[in-house]
Structure 1
């Protein structure tokens, strides 16, 4: 099994982005003392690498922003800025700032500890493997409503999914980090004819969270949970779960080929909003793949209310890309929004192929230290 730079793998090539990530990562790790590095460095096969769940947890893996000095925090933000587009980076900053809004709103309910629980410093940085030339490694930035997972393979290929951004509340003052994609989706829904809308709307109830949940690798069929973790007051039935289920081989909703030209363009633009969370070097290739696969392979479905301020959900399902947007909790005021890749979330297939090749040929980092013909 070998990796070829044609067809499916060329869309993951991002050498410039990888180079910026690598150099910034070195600077950050060099700045850390031993205790900090032990907090944030893990092996590639550490089981925590595939846990990208973005809810608040007391046992997060990695070093928190709160445990870094001012210079180190600047380097973390330089790493984020190098690994996201300006659009994506600004969304991340807004989501982190939302924790301050949430703290103030929840203090009466949760009391004094709210300041520790809802805290923009409670985002965790973790590195997996050895960040080095021609090496395979990964890193993650994770906390409430932000889950960014990067896998770098041989300093050549880069995967950036699952890519999750959320917002609670959906907007506050001038902060509305996910308003654009929500507005785009509502505009597309409003543009549909009655027949198209009947195809698109798959259920009158929105799921509490993603239909595919937070599994590391998407199965052929996935069902949403009855409720979102920690939010038992919004619950769906078994009948709802059946109507909302994800099936890789049987996409729900209206097919892109049944849309008008303007509607089809709007659907692709909505997909692009998600892909352009990432640097242009990668986003352009990913979007070109979606366009190359065509509207015949792109489906748009909707569930729940059809107006803002109601619980609602949409899903875009393609040959390689999956997008889910859920805004069900608090009457459409608590968003979860993510982009996934069926075969290469967390580098799945690319890693398997890379390790297979290494077994056959050896790794350059090893072979460059061995004599070609030893002198006995």
Structure 2
């Protein structure tokens, strides 16, 4: 028996051409009768020049119930830089879905096409890649970082409906400021508007704000934000819809301007950033929370480990200590999480514990600064440099402490830096989804600058 099928489907987001011409399939091979790339869905939107991790779900019919293995990476054409890889599974006896992991960094905006072939059927899967900025707004001409952020905010707001704008623009109050979390849950536990509700243009505009407000160092700032955001799609692939890069939010508390006081909030599961601006300057970059699960993963040919720098810097600081110094620095308390996470505002210990940095050698003091640095690099470069300089002048009043193992490799291994201003915690926890691995939580606060003193 022979089958011959030809189909062409055109839409705004997808272009698909399908063909099939095959003999009666073997009963030992996975086969289908039709594959509908034109109705495929993607777990996340893609933006030019931004690292992407997502899943394409492609419906099929006529499955014969046979198991199949993972496929080889398929390189994108049109917009290059991405690969699509079939995830292993078992066909339904009839209709079902194939899942393809898509990873990489798109080289431009436009359409990234993938030549999909499975079970004797071929089709072209198309992912729309948005521009990094919206409309004709060019914020690169703004003369200051805050001006660039405000310019990007105005460009984003111009894409929103009145209803969306009322969701993202809120009053600057302490009650709103402290409404952030490191847990999954989207806007049910946060302010703002969810990425999942934005179209491609709106999402690109929202991310342009975050990029303008964040540091440019590799694996820190915007790069770290993008990777932690993408990690939720990795979790979603393994654990289900409770995790998704689309559950991240952005919000403005107060009216964004280069003269007034207002706060930018963005984040989601394992990421929270609270940046306060006043009179055209950043006056607070805290609280800031980052975590990661899995702590490392590979997509295509790229391996991601967005918090490896933080871990290694803290471990290097502790590794420089002598046995006597480690004894002084070690805490008797066991920590299952950071002590000053969400809803722990202003609850700094009354007495600093651990080892006084003033007693360290010059080389060890440099390692303490290096351990703080990754967290200060998450905000824009100029602000991060200025904050680290302040913390350097306060080293004589700063203490370091740890609990568990100084190598920071096991559950409940914990370390912190506590100064007159700076407060940084890093802890290892048993995995929630990847239960045979540890994952990281961290928080960066400032004794006097959190929420600009709200």
> Taking structure 2 as the reference length, what is the TM-score of the superposition?
0.62
Shift of 1:81: 1.1
Shift of 1:157: 4.2
Give the match's secondary structure for 1:22: helix
- The residue that corresponds to 2:385 in the other structure is 284
State whether residues 18 and 158 of structure 1, in contact with CA within 8 Å, keep that contact through their aligned partners in structure 2. no
Root mean square deviation, CA, Å: 1.9
Give the match's secondary structure for 2:347: coil
Spell out, residue by residue over 1:19-57, the C-alpha distance to the aligned partner (whole angstroms, 9 max, x if none): 111111011111111121122111112723221222123
Spell out, residue by residue over 1:326-355, the C-alpha distance to the aligned partner (whole angstroms, 9 max, x if none): 11233762211121111221111xx6xxxx
- The residue that corresponds to 1:92 in the other structure is 225
State whether residues 99 and 118 of structure 1, in contact with CA within 8 Å, keep that contact through their aligned partners in structure 2. yes
Q: Determine which of 136, 152, 155 is the counterpart of 2:280.
A: 155
Alpha-carbon separation, structure 2, partners of 1:215 and 1:300: 23
- Which consecutive segments of 4 or more residues in structure 1 shift more than 4 A? none
> Taking structure 1 as the reference length, what is the TM-score of the superposition?
0.75
**Higher RCO (CA-CA < 8 Å; seq separation 6+):** 1
Give the match's secondary structure for 2:158: helix
Give the match's secondary structure for 2:246: coil
- The residue that corresponds to 1:327 in the other structure is 428
Shift of 1:150: 1.5
Shift of 1:166: 0.8
Q: Determine which of 279, 302, 306 is the counterpart of 2:402.
A: 302
Higher strand proportion, which one?
Answer: 2
Shift of 1:303: 0.8
- The residue that corresponds to 1:83 in the other structure is 213
Give the match's secondary structure for 1:31: coil
Q: Determine which of 316, 320, 339 is the counterpart of 1:191.
A: 320
- The residue that corresponds to 1:127 in the other structure is 252
Shift of 1:63: 0.9
- The residue that corresponds to 1:31 in the other structure is 159
Q: Determine which of 315, 339, 352 is the counterpart of 2:444.
A: 339
State whether residues 206 and 328 of structure 1, in contact with CA within 8 Å, keep that contact through their aligned partners in structure 2. no
> Aligned residues, how many?
298
Give the match's secondary structure for 2:304: coil
State whether residues 54 and 146 of structure 1, in contact with CA within 8 Å, keep that contact through their aligned partners in structure 2. yes
Alpha-carbon separation, structure 1, partners of 2:174 and 2:342: 17
Q: Which runs of 5+ in 1 are unaligned?
A: 1-14, 107-113, 221-246, 352-376
State whether residues 180 and 342 of structure 2, in contact with CA within 8 Å, keep that contact through their aligned partners in structure 1. yes
Alpha-carbon separation, structure 2, partners of 1:329 and 1:218: 27
Q: Determine which of 109, 116, 136 is the counterpart of 2:261.
A: 136
Higher helix proportion, which one?
Answer: 1
Shift of 1:146: 0.8
Spell out, residue by residue over 1:176-232, the C-alpha distance to the aligned partner (whole angstroms, 9 max, x if none): 1111111121122222111011011113x6412111232363135xxxxxxxxxxxx
Q: Is 1:74 equivalent to 2:204 in the alignment?
A: yes
Spell out, residue by residue over 1:41-85, the C-alpha distance to the aligned partner (whole angstroms, 9 max, x if none): 111127232212221236132111111111111111111111111
Spell out, residue by residue over 1:145-171, the C-alpha distance to the aligned partner (whole angstroms, 9 max, x if none): 110112112334431111111101222
- The residue that corresponds to 1:253 in the other structure is 354
Q: Which runs of 5+ in 2 are unaligned?
A: 1-142
Give the match's secondary structure for 1:152: strand
Shift of 1:133: 4.2
